[in-house]
Structure 1
């Protein structure tokens, strides 16, 4: 049970980072 919760937490964290990259991080990344 806890493994599933931890896995879903990691996936949610990863998805959040990817969404941030797609939203505003890409233009900032290209600026660098």
Structure 2
């Protein structure tokens, strides 16, 4: 796997994780 593909994959996973975390916080009424 190339460096760019690995970097893009990690950024995508981080973005998805943050998005899901924000959804959980909104559902609990923290935001």
TM over 0.5: yes
Runs of 4+ residues deviating >6 angstroms: none
More helix by share: 1
**Bigger relative contact order, structure 1 or 2, given CA contacts below 8 A and separation 6+?**
2
List runs of 5+ in structure 2 lacking aligned partners.
Answer: none
**Number of equivalences:** 26
List runs of 5+ in structure 1 lacking aligned partners.
Answer: 27-32
Structure 1 vs Structure 2 CA RMSD: 1.1
